[in-house]
Chain A
Amino acid sequence: DSGVTQTPKHLITATGQRVTLRCSPRSGDLSVYWYQQSLDQGLQFLIQYYNGEERAKGNILERFSAQQFPDLHSELNLSSLELGDSALYFCASSPGTVSYEQYFGPGTRLTVT
Chain B
Amino acid sequence: GQNIDQPTEMTATEGAIVQINCTYQTSGFNGLFWYQQHAGEAPTFLSYNVLDGLEEKGRFSSFLSRSKGYSYLLLKELQMKDSASYLCAVRSRSGNTGKLIFGQGTTLQVKP
Instruction: Identify the A interface with B (CB < 8 A).
Output: 2, 31, 33, 42-45, 48, 55-56, 58, 88, 90, 94, 96-107
Q: With A43-B87, A45-B99, A56-B97 as given contacts, are A101 and B104 in contact (CB-CB < 8 Å)?
A: no
Tell me if B29 is interfacial: C-beta within 8 Å of chain A: no
Give the residue name and chain of the B residue nearest to A44 (CB): B102
Question: With the chains together, A44 CA to B43 CA distance in Å?
Answer: 13
Q: Is B11 part of the binding interface, using a Cβ–Cβ cutoff of 8 Å?
A: no
Residues of B within 8 A of A (CB-CB), count: 22
Q: What separation, in Å, do the CA atoms of A97 and B30 have in the docked complex?
A: 13
> Which among A42, A88, A99 is the interface contact of B102 at CB below 8 angstroms?
A42
Q: Return chain A residues, CB-CB under 8 Å to B97.
A: 48, 55-56, 97-98
Pairwise interchain contact B91-A104, C-beta atoms closer than 8 A = no
A residues within 8 A CB of B30? 98
Closest to A100 in B: B48
| A105 with B45, Cβ < 8 A, contacts A42-B103, A48-B99, A56-B98 known | no
**Interface presence of B95 (CB below 8 A):** yes
Contacts of B89 in A (CB 8 A): 43
